[in-house]
Structure 1
Amino acid sequence: MQGLLITNVIKILDKAGYVVTDLAETKPRCFDVVARKGETVLFLKVLYNIDSFKPEMAREMKIIAKTLKASPMVVGERYKMDYLDRGVVYTRYGIPVINTATFYDMIVEGEMPLIYSAPGGYYVRLDNEKIKRARESLGISAGELAKMLGVSRRTVMLYEEGVDTNVENAIKLEEILGECVVKEIDVLNFVSDEEVEEAENVRYGEKESEIISQLQYIGVDVIPVKHAPFDVISKPDEAPVLTGIKQVREIEKRVDLMGRISRIISTMAAYIVERKVKVQNDSVVIVMKDELSCVSNPKDFYNLLEEKRDNQAE
């Protein structure tokens, strides 16, 4: 079921002109699809039942998205014993969740959803300036509008200050004022930087820990990643680098996945190895661990990657 859903999501992205890659070959993963169109970069988790979305996956999605200037999102169809509704944004651990139909409306038709789900029902975000302007143009006082809506004057004042309301009240409000006063929900900028938690500690083997220590010693920030084809995101001053450090047999497969992601999001990628490997990928720089001993600062590290990338391309 999930495979079919991922296929449908990719078809929608293709139709909208996105360049896309999926990570069907790797597990575990906190995202299944990476897509880009212009400056918009999407990291998508696709699940038939969104109840299987775990808090550690959400945390990591938010960290990756913030670091790589991308938008994290979950696309699904069900939760508990019910279906997700079209045009409604749900939330799981701070990540926006929508169904495939809503995803189509947003990506292909350019129509952002207007409704979000929260405890107690469905709600909308009101355009407080439009409400006040429309009320005044009709010559209606806040008290009169309150009577028409069947709410208190204080509630009307709250609407004009930007407080959200349920869908039923919003419909009444628009019928009385004669215009749309509901704001679109910007799913692409749903997660604020303030909501992003610190990366959780990841246990690495001795060899991987040595590589991380070397990177940190030369001043490179290292963000650990557990559920992705890359193991850390290295952050020299210039730009983030998708970085593989696990010394495993499947390096070739991981390098291929890293290369596909780096091409989509136009980000440098590197794999640091202890021994020479017979792996070649124009999008992933292969770095010997010993080469890090010749690097003294983050700028030198980035220059090393650029130089090796250029040499690999020749």
Structure 2
Amino acid sequence: MKTSLIQKAINVLEDAHFRVSDCSIVRSCFDILARRDDTILLIKILPNIEGLNHKSALELKNVAVVMSGIPLIIGDHTKNSILSPDVIYTRYDIHVVNIDAFAGILSGRIPSIYSIRGNYCMRIDSRLLSNIRKKLNMTQEELAYQLGVSKQSIYRYESSGRISLNIAEKLMEFLKEDIMVPSDIFTLEINCLENEISTFMTDLKRMVLREFKNIGLDTSLTNAPFDILAREREHHEKILTIVSDDREGLKRKVEIIKDISEITGCYKVCISNRARDLDVLVIRPKELSEIKEVSEFMELLVD
């Protein structure tokens, strides 16, 4: 089922004029990377969304941050129910949708309902609610009485714009106004990296991380087609870095990072003792240790 869901997602993305890289042939926290204009999506396909755990979610969010992208889960069901095409779900602060909802979102049909921990909610225009209430010469307490909620609830609705589905329906029926704001999977904000992800690290990866740090590159260890995402500070260039001596695994990863590099504009490099005949710049660990300046390293990538 996962394979067919991946292909459906790729078809939907391509129909919506995204450039797409299928990353599912290697172990990675995302299965698809897609870009349209300035929007980069990092998509994990999970038929049963219960399969997402805290560690996997952190890995996906961390890569999304450093790639300036948006993490997303496309699934089909939980252990108890099928995902609705009219709802945007949330797991570990990542949006989750089924394939029909995803197709609808890309064509402008955005669900107005979202689910957090099993509770169905809706976003409303909090400022519009406040303005309409004032035009009706109603206090927060009076509106609360009409809806059967507390004054504090009205204050919260006018502050956060988040409201339970049944109260939202009551509110809009009473006001005779549509104050709903559609949810948007493209506005998720994740502002910081979380470092407490235990990742197996080979001696070679440790060495590369150390050498990158010595020449002034910022680095993030990833569970992705690239092992390290390095960032050059002056011009904010990103470098997709494969670090491995596994020849078979290298070939698969190189094919994918070529795609990702072309789609995102990131540089690409492989650090390996054993790589042969790869369509990517290969730097031996000994050669890397001899590089003293980040400018020297970047010149190799550009040539």
Report if TM-score (shorter chain) is over 0.5.
yes
Q: Is the 8 A contact 1:270 1:286 kept in 2?
A: yes
Superposition map of 1:140-155 within 5 A: 140-155=138-153
Equivalent-residue separation in structure 2 for 1:155 and 1:210 (angstroms): 55
Per-residue deviation, residues 33-76 of structure 1 (Å, max 9, x unmatched) = 11110000001001111111222221111111100101000000
Secondary structure in 2 matching 1:193? coil
Q: 1:300 to 1:172 in 2, by over 3 A?
A: same
Counterpart in the other structure of 1:232: 228
Corresponding position of 1:63:
62
In structure 2, the residue matched to 1:218 is 215
* One-letter amino acid of the structure 2 residue matched with residue 20 of structure 1: V
Q: Which runs of 4+ in 1 moved over 4 A?
A: none
Aligned length: 300
Shifted more, 201-210 versus 14-23: the winner is 201-210
What secondary structure, in the 3-state scheme, does the structure 2 residue paired with 1:198 have?
Answer: coil
Percent identity between the aligned chains? 29
Pairing 1:272-291 to 2, within 5 Å after superposition: 272-275=271-274, 277-280=276-279, 284-291=280-287
RMSD over equivalenced CA pairs, Å: 2.0
Q: Which runs of 5+ in 1 are unaligned?
A: 308-314
> Quick check: 1:35–1:43 contact (8 Å CA) kept in 2?
yes
Q: How does 1:125-274 map to 2 (within 5 A)?
A: 125-162=123-160, 164-194=162-192, 196-198=193-195, 200-225=197-222, 227-237=223-233, 238=235, 239-250=237-248, 251-274=250-273
CA distance in 2, matches of 1:306, 1:126: 49
**Any gaps of 5 or more consecutive residues in structure 2?**
none
8 Å Cα contact 2:245-2:275 kept in structure 1: no
Question: Counterpart in 1 of 2:18?
Answer: 18
Normalising by structure 1, report the TM-score: 0.88
Match of 1:96 in 2: 95
**Deviation digits for residues 287-308 of structure 1 (CA, Å, limit 9, x no counterpart):** 233332442222332222112x
Asked whether the 8 Å contact 2:61–2:190 carries over to 1, the reply is no
CA distance in 1, matches of 2:71, 2:298: 27
1:306 has 2:302 as partner: yes
* Offset at residue 118 of structure 1 (A): 2.1
Q: Assess if the C-alpha contact under 8 Å between 1:201 and 1:224 holds in 2.
A: no
TM-score (norm 2): 0.91
